[in-house]
Amino acid sequence: MANIAIMGFGTVGAGVAKVLEMNGASMAARLEEPLHLKYILDVRDFDQSPYADRMIKDFSIIENDPEVEVVVETIGGKGVALDFTRRCLQAGKHVVTSNKELVATHGKELLAIARARNVNYLFEASVGGGIPLLRPMYECLAANEIEEIIGILNGTTNYILTRMVQDEIAFSTALQEAQGMGYAERDPAADVEGLDACRKICILSDLAFGREVLPDEVSTEGISGIHLKDVDIAAAAGYRIKLLGRAIRLPEGRQTAYVAPHLVREDCPLAGVDGVFNAVMLRGNAVGDVLFYGRGAGDLPTASAVLSDVMDAIAHRSKRRNLDWSQSAQMVSASELPMSWYLRGAFSAGDARAVCGPVTLLGDGAVITPPMTAAKAREAAEKLGAAAMLHVL
């Protein structure tokens, strides 16, 4: 029997207990041993909960119990979650988490502790919610050099954009709905301003390229500056607006990453990804393009990913996953990459051509420029007095 503990009994932590309850028998059959949820740590009282008998408030009970082999950290943030994770790993326990903020900022240190103690620190649920993504990337695509990753990485913002476009719901109402369903971060500005997607593209980049990229090295723009007018113009011209995270391997050991809203052509697979769903496209130098799709947030989908890591840790008790990004990345600013841009304003097609070169006209004073750097695009936008400027994929 394998004993596990959950730290943080909120949306994801409670989802983990629920999936364990639902599917514990089949999981035990696959593992050839039962999983036993021994403790649940939370600051709140759960007197009426069916789990009341195993609720605790003192972390040291988990830390000092040698029977607990795997600890699930679903508290979130970099505060106690960091301290508890360090101490669990130091105590020789595997730790499984959905906490992307912690993995993106302290993953290097925590993986080093795990390596020293010969245990696993696993975080499948930290990117893409329930989508099997990280393990397929580092296992099934291990024979590839990953060249590029691009994806819809945040369920809350994708849900908001979908509700606004398809159902004409106001931004604040759509955000409230996403919060009600447990999709949003504790501070939903992390979703709306792109920070959450930034943390996830850092983790993907760390794993794919084996070098540490920290969130403050990644240019990040969220969805709060998007005007409905641009959504409408884009839709009429056959585009959708999506918040994308992107990481690219560049020549000479360099790399780049950024998060920004993009116009995406309707025939691109990412354009049809709606609601809480996420999708990530990877390009490997042997396999070519691979697409991962599924629910990017929510209690049971995220718990599915958490528990797959729990099972992985138990199935390979003494065999560590070789995850490592101990060296720093050589980052190039994404603003140096030539890209096409959407510009809208009260300028004529002739003016746009004179300033940008051969533009594509979208109607309603909007154009798509030929590829140019962000600096050149900003200069052009200024000359034209553009009211909106967005990336085009």
Active site annotation includes 200: yes
Which of 200, 319, 376, 383 is labelled catalytic? 200
Q: How far is CA 310 from CA 27, 39, 149, in A?
A: 10, 15, 26
d(CA 298, CA 182): 6
- Confirm or reject binding of residue 297 to ligand HSE (CB under 6 A): yes
In the list ligand NDP, ligand HSE, none, the entry touching 309 (Cβ below 5 to 8 angstroms by class) is: none
Among 39, 121, 159, 183, binds ligand NDP (CB under 6 A): 183
Is 296 or 365 the residue whose CB approaches ligand HSE more closely? 296
Among 2, 40, 72, 76, binds ligand NDP (CB under 6 A): 76
d(CA 260, CA 242): 8
- Confirm or reject binding of residue 183 to ligand HSE (CB under 6 A): yes
The piece of 74-82, 85-93, 134-142, 231-239 that touches ligand NDP (CB under 6 A) is: 74-82
Among 3, 74, 340, 369, binds ligand NDP (CB under 6 A): 74
The piece of 11-19, 105-113, 328-336, 372-380 that touches ligand NDP (CB under 6 A) is: 11-19
The piece of 29-37, 39-47, 263-271, 340-348 that touches ligand NDP (CB under 6 A) is: 39-47
The piece of 36-44, 45-53, 283-291, 320-328 that touches ligand NDP (CB under 6 A) is: 36-44
Minimum distance, C-beta of residue 40 to ligand HSE, in the bound complex (Å): 21
- Confirm or reject binding of residue 98 to ligand NDP (CB under 6 A): yes
- Which stretches of 189-271 are assigned E, i.e. beta strand? 211-212, 219-220, 239-249, 254-265
Half-sphere exposure of residue 126, counting CA atoms within 13 Å on the CB side? 32
- Confirm or reject binding of residue 114 to ligand NDP (CB under 6 A): no
Q: How far is CA 78 from CA 82, 83, 289, 318, in A?
A: 5, 8, 34, 28
Is 284 or 294 the residue whose CB approaches ligand HSE more closely? 294
Q: How many residues bind ligand HSE (CB under 6 A)?
A: 11
Amino acid at position 203, single letter? I
- Confirm or reject binding of residue 121 to ligand HSE (CB under 6 A): no
Q: How far is CA 273 from CA 37, 125, 198, 266, 296, in A?
A: 35, 19, 19, 10, 11
Q: Are strands 340-344 and 388-392 parallel, antiparallel or unpaired?
A: antiparallel
Q: How far is CA 11 from CA 61, 132, 185, in A?
A: 23, 19, 11
- The 249-288 contact track toward ligand NDP, x by CB under 6 A, reads ----------------------------------------
What's the DSSP call for residue 365? T
Strand, helix or coil for residue 364 = coil
- The 291-310 contact track toward ligand NDP, x by CB under 6 A, reads ------xx---x--------
Q: Element (H or E) spanning 26, and its range?
A: helix 11-31
- Positions 143 through 182 that interact with ligand HSE (CB under 6 A): 154-156
- Confirm or reject binding of residue 202 to ligand NDP (CB under 6 A): no
The piece of 29-37, 38-46, 253-261, 262-270 that touches ligand NDP (CB under 6 A) is: 38-46
d(CA 270, CA 202): 20
- Confirm or reject binding of residue 196 to ligand HSE (CB under 6 A): yes
- Residue 231 near residue 258 (C-beta atoms within 8 A): no
- Positions 64 through 93 that interact with ligand HSE (CB under 6 A): none
In the list ligand HSE, ligand NDP, none, the entry touching 156 (Cβ below 5 to 8 angstroms by class) is: ligand HSE
DSSP string, 247-269: EEE-STTEEEEEEEEEEEETTSG
Give the residue carrying structure tokens 């190039």. 332
Strand partners, 328: 212
By beta-carbon distance, which residue lies closest to ligand NDP? Answer: 10
Burial class (CB in 10 A: 0-12, 13-18, 19+), 362: buried
Write out the residues near ligand NDP by the rule CB under 6 A.
7-13, 41-44, 74-76, 80, 98-101, 125, 129, 182-183, 185-186, 297-298, 302
Write out the residues near ligand HSE by the rule CB under 6 A.
129, 154-156, 183-185, 191, 196, 296-297
The residues annotated with a catalytic role in the active site are 200
